[in-house]
Chain A
Amino acid sequence: MKLEVGYIRICDISFAEATEVKEGTLYVNAKELESMVLEDERIAAVCFDIARPGESVRITPVKDVIEPRAKVEGPGDIFPGVITKMSTVGMGKTHVLRGAAVVTVGKIVGFQEGIIDMSGLGAEYTPFSKTNNLVVNFTPKEGLSPHEYEAAARHAGLTIAYTLGKLSAALTPDETKVYEFPSMVEGIKKYPDLPRVGYVQMLQSQGLLHDTYVYGVDMKKSITTMLCPTETMDGAIISGNCVSACDKNTTYHHQNNPVIEDLFAEHGKTLNFAAMVITNENVYLADKERSSDWTAKLVDYLDLDGVIISQEGFGNPDTDLIMNCKKIEATGTRTVIITNEYAGRDGTSQSLADADPSADALVTAGNSNQVVTLPKLDRVIGTLEYTEKIAGGFAGNIVADGSITVELQAITGATNELGFNLMSAR
């Protein structure tokens, strides 16, 4: 499979009469988008806002972040099986509005959504302080159930990102990257001396605001399976979760999975990127046993020399992580796991909820319990009404001067376990 990804640089975003891209600026007609969103009768109202890098803006409670992309050549379309017709993606040509993002916010569903600060200390911890964000703020219809509300908000965010992404199709990319993924036999023939490496991606699947969808399939109802890594670049995996926003993969993370990018960067040089396995993180023990059995079985069957395992979430999924690691190591395949830590605010607690001696190669995205005080920012998009209640907040954390104190876990993407960031801990 071969996918060419063309990046069109977006340096600014602005409201305008016509929705278009001109000289690196994304212009948006909010009225058009509004009527599109309101076609969904579950949503009572929607308003749009703009947040640029460096502005004194706080966005909360954030549900998802999505990158606008368009399919230019090849089968299928962006967000297959969800926004567009089901068809296998990951081949041909895709364009990206690089530097732009759609951010969905609105009244919380549970306790769970995150914070994005566009400047100040908080901006250092979230990757989305560096994107030009179109913020979509929903008001759900009175009496709508949390599950329905979450689904409506998710769908609307994807629809808007898809619509904006379409603009990129006719543009000339500033930069192009080619990702070529050989079939198993081709790979072995081409790189007989390189170690065959796989990627095991664990997907959060514990229920409301903890779900992930693959080609529209709710991952908690799927058995462990395989994907061609380029499929993720066309939106095959989408996020339905942001609980403890620091370590949940937004759709943007899935579209730009850094493990996939970094394995491709070494592909044909120091390793042969041979397979990608996706598995879930369900709450029942039987599901955990089944999924990790299957993960190990597939890795063994594929005869891989090594795999990188990325986790999503913490606590309960630590069990899935350790099961996957232990069972894969037992097949003779070497593992490196990527996780984050809950070592307590002072950093002196044990960091994981499960452990095993075979997990001897670990990359950490940092301690999510670290406390930070975020300065008052001039403008809030969304509401601070839930800042005490969201995961990472606590009673009395909004100070009179307008600053807020939270654990890093409240900041969207701060300790992402795909290894998206530079942050670590020792």
Chain B
Amino acid sequence: MKIYVCVKHVPDSAATITIRDGSRIEENITFLMNPYDEHAITEAAGLRSQLPDAEVVAVCVAGPAAENTLRSAMAMGADRSILVVADRQIDSMLTARALQAAIEADGTPHLILAGKESIDAEGMQTMFRLARYFGMPAATNAVKISLEADGAVVESEKEAGSRDILRLTLPCVIGAGRGLNTPRYPTLPDIIKARKREVKKIDLADLDVSSPGGKTEILSLAPVAENREPREIAGDAAAAARELVRILKEEAKVL
């Protein structure tokens, strides 16, 4: 039985991001595994022990540098990995088709996990498109997954304090939320073992996938201007509190 985990190679949220050519992120900064995907990998490694002869395979569609992210995925528990090498930015429609083709070429999925979204594009589309192409049910923002003989019971967080409990037939696609687990980060022995595991590389062109006509292009990217200036709120505690409430209401507009 195979559990596929789709992972994305994203910029470190703490990095100083610069935009090149108006439409792409300068790639010399730290890139790492999308944080939601860490929950997906950790969950897959836990579920593996519940399934006979289960194997966890991490799959990524990105440039060659994403091998590092797949090494991280294997250090965190994936048995092996597949990198679909794309030499350009592609949209979620094509990414989902590439993931589908790579998974189909590899084996029959019992379950497909992914992060509920990526922290760079935040499109929240790829996992649903993948489910659609496979004809599988999907659930997102999973905070609990229980595998049963003929399905998966997923607790899906809607908003704070509210959960749907869903029963999905298998195979299915599940998007991991932050509440699903605590990521199990690798020890050095895990990292050493992952160095010897396989990263199978497939060229996107060799997968023979194409968009069904439509596509999304990024016309331009612009950095968010950080313009934070500290301001001291003077006066006694009561006056300072009043001023703080006024700022939160009138300037920040969060109250």
B and A form one assembly: no
